[in-house]
Amino acid sequence: MITSETLSALDREDPLGPFRGQFDLPEGIIYLDGNSLGPLPCRTLARLIDVTREEWGQSLITSWNKHGWIGLPQRVGDKIARVVGAAPGEVVAADSTSVNLFKLLAAACALRPGRKVILTESGNFPTDIYMAEGLVSVLGAGYEVRTVEREDVAAAITDDVAVVMLTHVDYRTGAMLDMTSVTASAHAVGALMLWDLAHSAGAVPVDLNGAHADFAVGCGYKYLNGGPGAPAFLFVAARHQEVARQPLSGWMGHAAPFDFEQRYRPAEGITRHLAGTPAILGLVALEEGVDLYLEADPEDLRRKSVLMTECFAALVAQECGDHGLTLASPGDPGKRGSQVCFRHEEGYAIIQALIARGVIGDFRTPDILRFGFAPLYLRYQDLWNAVIHLRSVMRKREWDSPEFRIKAAVT
């Protein structure tokens, strides 16, 4: 049996405990939604004030050179590379995950002429499928997006597939794919492999080069704590960089943007995958979040993540087992990301009732309650307190109230 005392003892021994003080966390809130938006690191606010007042305010346009603004996408990208198992020069921070998907899917299709299929799973995050469909509508000429069930992906990689596009950790359940084996299945028939790391980067160990991945994208506002709408990132394996070209040929991807040539010439390396002017304030905030993450021992992070998800799942079973909550995540922590999800037909109302109590998780249609676990700032005691609140919500049917059934724009 798990007790409050058990979890308090784990907090006292936690080597990551001091990191909690590095975040501006609201008093009285248990935040289990870092898998959707990470909280504010204390250092980020100070850095943004400095950049705004001094670099933007005083140095003005000279900051592109004087303060190195022009190199921020590559500099932050190299730091993110350390998080996702890539080498320097293989990652750049820019744009949104959706835009980066479009770029890399187009590049991948061009590298496999004669193959017309983008393969993905039917339950993939919708924007990934939308962007693939948008690309196909532009390419025409028989291109298609083919969707299959997750368990059928490997068998569906046939010799007409140009690129396989999958999300490493499922956004609804946290189920995690074996990156190495799926990539090998794609390569075995000549297809390229593109991974979406939105729920992986900063949450679970990722080794893109160890898995021989070709391309990847990810966002900066979840476990990397870069802030709402933070710049995303993209990865292109070094072996593809000389020939891979993306279609959004903006001036920042040009070989010499300030020569203002009338014809496009792609830059060398990862820089050619930039397009427009970098979002400096967003990149600065993201860099602070990544720097803070890189200060932690990755083994400590994974160990705590696994233990937290195990404890939370066990606590829900222990305290709320007779109230219809069904585990939606894999039972094996080695096969899930840093989140635990449950199904309940009143899932939305339950989450709203929890939020009213100061426990913030989120809901995904049609019936999934999601709880994310970020080891940098969560305490084990938070798990106990969250589940006790959940128990009260379920026992007292607090969710069964009209105000908790009103669907907000963001769930």
Q: What is the CATH classification number for the domain harbouring 10?
A: 3.90.1150.10
- pLDDT, tens only, 169-184: 999 999 999 999 999 9
304 neighbors 223 (Cβ within 8 angstroms): no
Tell me: do 310 and 204 sit in the same domain: no
Q: Residue 411: pLDDT above 90?
A: no
Question: Is 221 an annotated catalytic residue?
Answer: yes
Tell me: do 219 and 362 sit in the same domain: no
Question: Is 222 an annotated catalytic residue?
Answer: yes
Q: Is the residue at 42 inside a domain?
A: no
Q: What is the C-alpha to C-alpha distance for residues 19 and 31, in angstroms, rounded to an integer? A: 15
Tell me: do 101 and 183 sit in the same domain: yes
Catalytic residue among 19, 31, 215, 221: 221
Q: What is the DSSP string of 212-260?
A: T-SEEEE-SSSTT---TT---EEEE-GGGTTT---S---GGGBSSGGG-
Q: What is the C-alpha to C-alpha distance for residues 355 and 360, in angstroms, rounded to an integer? A: 5
Q: What is the C-alpha to C-alpha distance for residues 34 and 374, in angstroms, rounded to an integer? A: 6
Q: Is the residue at 32 inside a domain?
A: no
Catalytic residue among 115, 172, 222, 304: 222
Mean pLDDT of 27-44: 97
Q: Is the residue at 262 inside a domain?
A: yes
Per-residue pLDDT, 129? 98
Q: Is the residue at 22 inside a domain?
A: no
Q: What percent of the chain has pLDDT over 90?
A: 99
Q: Is the residue at 158 inside a domain?
A: yes
pLDDT band at 8 (very low <50, low <70, confident <90, very high): very high
Tell me: do 180 and 84 sit in the same domain: yes
Distances (CA, A) of 192 to 1, 15, 108, 172, 195: 47, 40, 7, 25, 10
* CATH number of the domain residue 242 falls in: 3.40.640.10
Range of the domain at 209: 47-294
Q: What are phi and psi of 402, to 5 degrees?
A: -55, -40
Tell me: do 189 and 103 sit in the same domain: yes
One-letter identity of residue 160 = D
Distances (CA, A) of 30 to 93, 304, 354, 379: 30, 17, 10, 9
Tell me: do 129 and 223 sit in the same domain: yes
Tell me: do 373 and 308 sit in the same domain: yes
Q: Is 191 helix (H, G, I), strand (E, B) or coil?
A: coil
Residues 6+ apart with CB under 8 A from 111: 162, 192, 240, 243, 244
Question: Is 196 an annotated catalytic residue?
Answer: yes
β-bridge mates for residue 166, sequence order: 195
Q: What is the C-alpha to C-alpha distance for residues 107 and 163, in angstroms, rounded to an integer? A: 10
Question: What does the block give as tokens for 124?
Answer: 């993939």
Residue whose entry in the numeric block shows the structure tokens 């995690």: 176
Mean pLDDT of 317-344: 95
Mean pLDDT of 126-132: 98
| Max intra-chain CA distance, the chain | 70
Catalytic residue among 370, 377, 380, 404: 370
Query: What domain count does the chain have?
Result: 2
Tell me: do 165 and 125 sit in the same domain: yes
Q: Residue 159: pLDDT above 90?
A: yes
Last residue in a domain, options 294, 312, 345 = 294
Tell me: do 288 and 369 sit in the same domain: no
Q: Is the residue at 129 inside a domain?
A: yes
Q: What percent of the chain has pLDDT over 70?
A: 100
Counting runs of H as helices and runs of E as strands, what totals does the chain give? 12, 13
Residues 6+ apart with CB under 8 A from 298: 205
Q: Residue 122: pLDDT above 90?
A: yes
Catalytic residue among 14, 128, 196, 382: 196
Q: Residue 142: pLDDT above 90?
A: yes
Per-residue pLDDT, 388? 98
Tell me: do 188 and 80 sit in the same domain: yes
- pLDDT, tens only, 215-247: 999 999 999 999 999 999 999 999 999 999 999
Q: Is the residue at 74 inside a domain?
A: yes
Q: What is the C-alpha to C-alpha distance for residues 2 and 253, in angstroms, rounded to an integer? A: 54
Tell me: do 174 and 96 sit in the same domain: yes
Per-residue pLDDT, 394? 97
Q: Is the residue at 34 inside a domain?
A: no
94 neighbors 233 (Cβ within 8 angstroms): yes
Query: What's the chain's average pLDDT?
Result: 97
Last residue in a domain, options 231, 264, 294 = 294
The gap from C-alpha 139 to its chain's centroid, in whole angstroms, comes to: 28
Tell me: do 122 and 256 sit in the same domain: yes
Last residue in a domain, options 294, 328, 358 = 294
Catalytic residue among 19, 23, 31, 125: 125
Q: What is the DSSP string of 75-107?
A: HHHHHHHHHHT--TTSEEE-S-HHHHHHHHHHH
Per-residue pLDDT, 322? 85
- pLDDT, tens only, 178-211: 999 999 999 999 999 999 999 999 999 999 999 9
How many degrees, rounded to 5, is the angle at CA 254 between CA 134 and CA 226?
A: 65
User: Over the Cα atoms of the chain, what is R_g?
Assistant: 22
Whole-angstrom distance between the N-terminal and C-terminal Cα of the chain? 33
